[in-house]
Structure 1
Amino acid sequence: MSSNSASDEYSLPTREEAFAAFAHLMDHEDFLLSGLYTGGFPLLHRYLHELENLLMEVLPDLHRHLLSKGVVAMMYAQPWFHTLFITVVPEAAVVRVWGKMLREGPKALLTYALALLQDNKASLLCMDDVEDLMRALRHPRISPAS
C-alpha cells in the first residue's frame, strides 16, 4: 500500500501495486498462475482434469449425472479457473477464495470449485436438460459459507 495512515489501511492499491501483485501471482514459483493463460493453458488443463477426478471421487453421483448428459468440467469450470472466479461469484466470495489461495496456494481454487459443486449438487441432480445444467453451472448458487 502506498499510504501508512490508519485511515488508508484498507484502501485499494494503486494500479501499479495491483499489477505488481498480479505479476507476482503469475510468475512466483508457489503460484505460477501464468499457466492458466499461456500457450496450451497447461495449468488450466491440469485443474480441469483434477476437478473431474475430484468430482468422480467425492461426488460420484453428480459426476455420473453430468457425464450422462455429456457435461464435463471443461464446459463449465474453464471460466471459473480462467477468471479466478471473479466473473462467477459475488465479490465477497472472490475475496474469500483469493485469501484462501494466497494462504494455502492455488490448490484452494480446486477446493472452492468442488465446494460450489457440492453446494449445488441437489439442484443439479434434478436437471435433465443440458442447457439448464450449463446455466446453473455457469452461475452457481453460492451458500453463505462459500
Structure 2
Amino acid sequence: MKITITVFFSFLALTSWSQINKIDSSDAVKQSFWNDNIAAIIHLDKEKIIEQTNFPLKGEWYQEFELWEASEAQLKAAYIDKIEKVFDELVIIGLKKLTWKNASFKLIDGEYGISVIYDRVELEDHNFIYFSYELVFKKINNHWMLTEINFIG
C-alpha cells in the first residue's frame, strides 16, 4: 500500500511539473506576442516597452553606453532614459523586415521563452558592419516580458 501511494504521488508530481513547463507554441500565440510586444518596439511606444521589460535586463545592451560598472539601478535608469537609443532607427528597420513567423520558441534556463533575432547593418569608417541582435522574452506573471538583449556576431 505504501509503495502504491508513493508511486501515485510521484506520478502526480511529474504530471504537474510537465504541465508547468508546457507553453502554447501555436501560431496564434506568436501572432499575439508579435502584435503586442514587438509592435510596441516598432512603434517606439516607450511606456509599453518599459512596462514589458523585466529588470534587471540581461544581455550586452549596455555596452553601447559604456556602463560596464553600473549597478542594476543605474542600468535600469539608463535603459529608461536612453530607450530611443536602445531601440533606434536601425533596430526598428530590422524588426520591420520580420513577421511573427520569425519569433521562435526556445528553452531558456529551463523555461520556454520567445526569441526574435534581427540583423543590423552599420557604416563605420567606410565599411559596412553586419551583426545581429536577439531579443529574449519570457512569460512572467502571465505576460511576455523582455528579459535579455544579446549581440550575436
Q: TM-score, normalised by structure 1?
A: 0.30
Greater fraction of residues in strand:
2
**Larger helix share, 1 or 2:** 1
Q: Which has the higher contact order (CA 8 A, sep 6+)?
A: 2
Please tell me whether Structure 1 or Structure 2 has the larger radius of gyration of its CA atoms.
2
TM-score normalised by the chain length of structure 2 = 0.29
